[in-house]
Amino acid sequence: MTRLSPFRVLLAGLMAAALLPHAAAVDTVIRDVTVFDGQAFHPHQSVLIRQGRIEFPYRRPTPAGAVEVSCQPCTLLPGLIDSHVHAYQQFDLPLHFGVTTQLDMFTSWPAIRALRQQMKAGTNHEAADVFTAGTLVTAPGGHGTEYGFEIPTLSRPQDAAAFVDARIQEGSDFIKIVLDDGHAFHRPFATLDDPTLAAVIRAAHARRKLAVVHVSDLASAKRALKAGADGLVHWVLDEEADDEFVAPARRRHAFVIPTWTVYEGMRGGQGGEALANDPAVAPLISDAQAVTLGTRLSPQDQSGALNERFRRSVVRLAQAGIPLLAGTDAGNPGTLHGASLHRELALLSGAGLTPGQVLASATSVPARVFGLRDRGRVATGMKADLVLVRGDLREDISATRHIVSVWKDGQSRDAARADRIGQVAQAKAAAARMKQSLGEQMVRFRQVDGQVSAESPQGSWGLTSDQMMKGHSQVSWHVPEAPGAAAGATDPIQGGDLEVSGELKPGAPMTWAGLAHYPAPSPFQPRDLSPAKGLRVTLRTHGDTVMAQFFSRLGSFTPEMQPLKTGEEWQTFDLPFSSLPGFSPSEATALLFVVSGKPRTFRFEIRAIEWLR
C-alpha cells in the first residue's frame, strides 16, 4: 500500500497519469474522512475505489498495490450534479470543480454528439457526463428560437406525440417544454397554449420520459403543474411560492430547480464576480472566463428584492417537502460551467437550508428525480464519481470549492487539474506581458526597400484572397509617399497610411480580398486578445464596403462581421469586442479587413488600427 498525505495526493495523481495508459483507474482507499453519502454525514469513514466502483463503508486494510489517500479535516462526497446547464463547449471544465454530471436543458446535437458516443461506450472519463433534453419544445416564435439556428416548433396538440417521438429518436433523455410569454423579462414571445402543453406532457409520460417546464412567472408555473409537469427548471421572477402552487406541487411530487445564480447576475448581483475572484476558483479560470462569470446584465445591483423573494420561496418549498435541485443555467452570461454550481450552493445555504439539504440538491436528489441510478450517492456498487474537499461541510458549505481531488469513473483527475492550473497561469502571464507590450497602436505600416513592413507586437499581417479556395481575385498593398498620405508617411519610425487595392474576380464559391492579421505565431491558432476591449479603425473606403471579420475558436470558421463604409473622407470606427457575441477575444484566431461580393476593382486605405482600452 502507498500512504499519501494531503500534500502528496496531487503528486500521486500526476505519477499515475504518467505511468498508466489512458490514466486507467487505480484502486484507491480514501482513509478516515467525513463522508457525505448523498443524504447524511458519516465521520471517520473510509471508502474504496475499485475498478471504477465504490465500496462503502470500507473497514479492511488497504489492498496491495492500491493508493491510500489520507486527508484531515476533509469531506468526501458524490460527484456534483448541475441540474440545469446548456452544454455546448468546455466539457472538461466542470470536472475541475467537482461537477461530474450535467443535466442539459437545450443544446445543439452536433455539439454533444461525440461526448454522448463516449458515454455510450463507457469511455467518457475526461469530461462531465451530459444527460439532455436535446431540442426543447416551444411554439413558433417562442423562447428558444432566437439563438441563430433553426429548431422545430410545435403549435397544435394533435402534433405533440409525433414531436415527442422525434425528440426521443434524436436521443433526448427527457422532454423540456417552454411555457413563457416573455413578460417577466419585458420581451414578448409566443408560447404554447394549454391543450398543446398538456398533450406534450401526456406524450412524454406515455413514453416514460420526464416532462420538465421552463417558466418565469408564477401563473405559468401553476399552469404547468395543472397540465401534469414533473418539475420546473426555473423558479419564477415575479412572485413568491404560495399555497396555490405548493399544495399541487406536493401532491404531484413535482420538483423545482431554482437557478438562483443566473438570475442574481441578471439583476446586477455581484455573486459571479466574487466567485471569479475566490482564490479557490481563480487559478482554474481564464481572464475571459472570469469576465463571463462576472457579467451583470443590470449596471446597478437590483438583486436585493429578487434574493429576498427567492429566499422565502426556497425555504417554503423545502419545508413543504418539494424536492429542490441545484442548477445554474450555465452557458448564460454571469455563469460558468462547473464553477457556478458552488455559488448556487452558497445561495441555497444562505436561504436557510441545512448543509445536508444543500448537498443533496446537487447529488442524490437530482440522481433520484432523473433516474440516474448509478450516481449521486456514496454507496457500494455506485459509479466512483467522487469529490474530496478540505474542510467540514457541516460547518461551511463554501468548502466545496476547496477541492483536493476529483475522481471520474474511478480515475483521478488530479493530473488534468494540475495541468489546467498551469495552463491558466501561463495564459494570464502571457496576457499581462501582452498588455504591457500593447501600445495604443496595434500595427504600424512602413515601406522598406519597396516592400510593406507591418510592425506589430504580436502575430503577423499580410494579404488574403479567395485564391486559397482556387479563386482568382487579386490584391496588393503599399504605403504611398504621394501627397495626401499621412503626415510623416515616409518617416521610417512613424510609418504611413496603408493602401490595399485589387480586383474581385469570379471563379470561387465566395470572392474576397484584403488584409489579414493572425494574432498567434501560426495562422488560425488562438491567441488571447481579451486584455483589450476592442479595436479602433481609421480608414476610408471610397464608397466601397470593407468587412471587418473577427474569427475565434468559438465561431470556428464563421466570423463575426462589421461593415465599414466611408466616402472620400477619413472616418474612425470603434469595434468593441462586447458587440460581437460570436467572437471570443480570449481565443482569437484571425482579424480580416476585406471586400467581397460581385466582381469589381477596389481600393481602401487604413490610417490606424488601435486598441480600445
pLDDT value for 23: 53
pLDDT of residue 554: 67
- The answer to whether position 124 is within a domain reads no
Q: Which CATH number characterizes residue 507's domain?
A: 2.60.120.430
Cell matching residue 280:
479557490
**What is the pLDDT, as a whole number, of residue 434?**
59
Query: Is 291 domain-assigned?
Result: no
Residue 406 lies in a domain: yes
| The pLDDT of residue 439 | 57
Q: Give me the average pLDDT of each 10-residue run along the chain (613 residues).
A: 42 39 75 98 98 97 95 97 95 98 96 96 97 98 86 97 98 98 89 98 99 98 98 97 98 98 93 96 90 80 93 98 98 94 98 98 99 98 98 98 98 96 88 63 83 83 90 94 46 70 91 93 78 93 97 75 95 94 87 96 95 85
Residues 468 and 570 in one domain: yes
Could you tell me the three cell numbers for 68?
A: 491510500
- Does 459 lie in the same domain as 403? no
Q: What is the CATH number of the domain that holds 210?
A: 3.40.50.10910
pLDDT, position 487? 44
Q: What angle do CA 66, 72, 78 make, to 5 degrees?
A: 65
Q: Are residues 604 and 472 in the same domain?
A: yes
Domain assignment of residue 582, yes or no: yes
Residues 503, 479: one domain? yes
In a domain, 114, yes or no: no
Domain shared by 465 and 569, yes or no: yes
Question: Is position 282 within any domain?
Answer: no
Last residue of one domain, picked from the residues 422, 437, 452? 437
**350 assigned to some structural domain:** no
Q: Name the E strands within 195-256.
A: 211-214, 231-232, 255-256
Residue 494 pLDDT: 44
Select from 232, 248, 281 the last residue of a domain.
Answer: 232
The confidence score (pLDDT) of residue 492 equals: 43
Domain count, the chain: 3
Nearest-angstrom CA–CA distance, 456 and 446: 11
Q: Which of 493, 484, 487 is nearest to 445 (CA)?
A: 493
Residue 386 is part of which domain span? Answer: 1-78+376-437
Q: Are residues 27 and 143 in the same domain?
A: no
pLDDT of residue 20: 39
Q: Which three cell numbers stand for residue 467?
A: 485564391
pLDDT of residue 4: 44
- Mark whether 572 and 454 lie in a shared domain: yes
Q: Give the Cα separation of 197 and 179 in Å (integer).
A: 8
Residue 437 pLDDT:
57
Q: Are residues 418 and 511 in the same domain?
A: no
505 and 557 inside one domain:
yes
Cβ contact 342:398 at 8 Å: yes
Which single residue is written with the C-alpha cell 486578445? 529
| 575, 459: one domain | yes
Last residue of one domain, picked from the residues 437, 454, 478? 437
CATH number, domain of 72, equals 2.30.40.10
Does 478 lie in the same domain as 404? no
Model pLDDT, residue 299: 72
Looking at the structure, do residues 396 and 491 belong to the same domain, yes or no? no
